[in-house]
Amino acid sequence: MTEIKSGHAIAADQFDVSFPEGCIVADPRNGKHYRIKGDGSMRELTVTGDELSEWEYQLGTPWYRRNRWLMSASGIVLLVLLTSYVIRRRAKSKEK
């Protein structure tokens, strides 16, 4: 007979899954396949089963690494605006 318990706490470690190195894992949510690396990270695979290049962003890549170009461009724009403000401020102070 099967016993059912309601409201029973389950330890979080029962949900931890570790895959062996070289194992291929499929994610049905996005239809992508990954190969497990020795350090536990995953590398996305192409349709032919080859790993994507190091230059392509992988699962878990932080947002600031994926958007380096945007952060650089924003920094340059802020620098230009600050320089423009300082130049105008100095020009106004010389007029007085």
The alpha carbon of residue 91 and the mean position of all alpha carbons in its chain are separated, in whole angstroms, by: 45
Q: pLDDT of 31-86, one tens digit each? A: 888 889 888 888 888 878 887 766 666 666 677 777 788 889 999 999 999 999 99
User: Which value, to the nearest 10 degrees, does the dihedral of the CA atoms of residues 34, 36, 37, 38 take?
Assistant: 180
**Residue 51: per-residue pLDDT:** 79
Nearest CA-CA partner of 58 in 18, 30, 16: 30
Q: How far apart are the first and last CA of the chain?
A: 94
**Residue 75: per-residue pLDDT:** 93
**Residue 60: per-residue pLDDT:** 64
Burial 42-66 (b: 16+ CB within 10 A, else e): bbbbeeeeeeeeeeeeeeeeeeeee
Q: Is the pTM of this model over 0.75?
A: no
**Residue 3: per-residue pLDDT:** 82
